A and B are shown apart, each in its own frame.
Chain A
Amino acid sequence: MRKVNPLYVFAVLLALIAAPVTAQSLKDDPGFVDFEPLVAQLDKAPEVSLNFGPALLQVFAATVRESDSGLAELLSGLRGLRVMVFEGVDTTPARSFQVATREQLDRTGWESALSVRDASTHVDMYLKAGAEAIEGLALMVTEDDGTAVFINVVGALNPAALGKLVSGTGFDLGALAELATQLNGGD
């Protein structure tokens, strides 16, 4: 039998181990929804664009744990938070993107939790249910006045925690405000 150079085996082993370490990203998470193409379609930067990954969210969870364990518990269940708010945009491409995203979510196992329309406002909220927790939330709101809000929450959340986050009740953001006043030199 032909002998295999052990150095080749070592190189292949290292490559196999390194590949999953480098390939893990939020985009591979089942609760992730890619709202980035919307920026190109609207040809306008969002008024508010906030993006938090798993590492930073866990840092916040650990940082506020002493002052607010409830908020820390909420943040520890998050792996990603993406918020985009557009103002004064053309509603047509925004609505098209909303419809296309709805169809994509319907195809990929997401469940529609809320879908309401009237003459000027379209609201869609989708949930991605996992085996033990809700893995993702996608909230899309478009209004005729040119306002569009797209939010994606990624994580492992129980329904009660998700309800608190989406309603903005049951937890206090004072710990974050206090943390902001304590921090300096970070801007």
Chain B
Amino acid sequence: MNKLPDHDSPEIRAEDGLKRRTGRPRDAELAADAGLMDELAALSGERLPEPVRKRVLRMVRMRRRAPWMAAAAAVLGVALIVPLALRTPAPPEPSRAETLELKQALEILGRTGRDAARFAGSQLSPHLASPEWGLERVPLKIFPQYPITDRNEDHEKS
């Protein structure tokens, strides 16, 4: 936060000393500034004629108003132009050629997708078949009341 300068600070005392100076400062640039200030102070402050004075004051007031008026005009312009710029124009109706092209594109996409799936299936299916284990049937009669049957015949019947 800005803090008001302490009236007893060295910088304030030095500034007051410069203002109340009686002689020329040693520094050449400061001496030149002081000399110019003395000459300007010595000029007579004649008052401008009233019509000229009013014109000057009116010009000063216009200059002060100009940036605000330009800013207001800018805001108004943005508010009007941006919605127009962002509004997309309505697209034209599709032509017969474009309609047929879209139909063709979707047909090609579907056909290529089906072919790709079929191709993938043809590559995968040999790897998905159940292997034949080739186990011999064990000739044991664990449950005498049930006759031994050929399992392959049972599977075909089911």
* Chain A residues at the B interface, C-beta cutoff of 8 Å: 3, 5-7, 9-10, 13-14, 17-18, 21, 48, 50, 52, 55-56, 58-60, 63, 81, 83, 85, 114, 116, 118, 121, 123, 125, 139, 141, 149, 151, 153, 165-169, 173, 176-177, 179-180, 183-184, 186-187
Q: Tell me the smallest distance from the CB of A152 to a CB of chain B, in Å.
A: 10
**Contacting pair A141 B82 (CB below 8 A):** no
A-B pairs, top 4 by smallest CB distance, nearest first, are A168-B110, A186-B95, A10-B74, A166-B113
| Interface majority SS (helix, strand, loop, mixed), chain A | mixed
- Contact check, A151 vs B109: say whether CB atoms are below 8 A apart: yes
Query: Which residues from chain B contact A7 at a C-beta distance below 8 Å?
Result: 70, 74
B interface residues, tally (CB under 8 Å): 41
Tell me, yes or no, whether B114 is within 8 Å of chain A by CB.
Answer: yes
Using a CB–CB distance below 8 Å, which chain B residues touch chain A? 67, 70-71, 74, 77-78, 81-82, 85-86, 88, 91-117, 119-120, 123
By a CB distance below 8 angstroms, the chain A residues around B81 are 14
Q: Is the interface of B mostly helix, strand, loop or mixed?
A: helix
Instruction: Find chain A residues with CB under 8 A from B112 CB.
Output: 139, 141, 149, 151
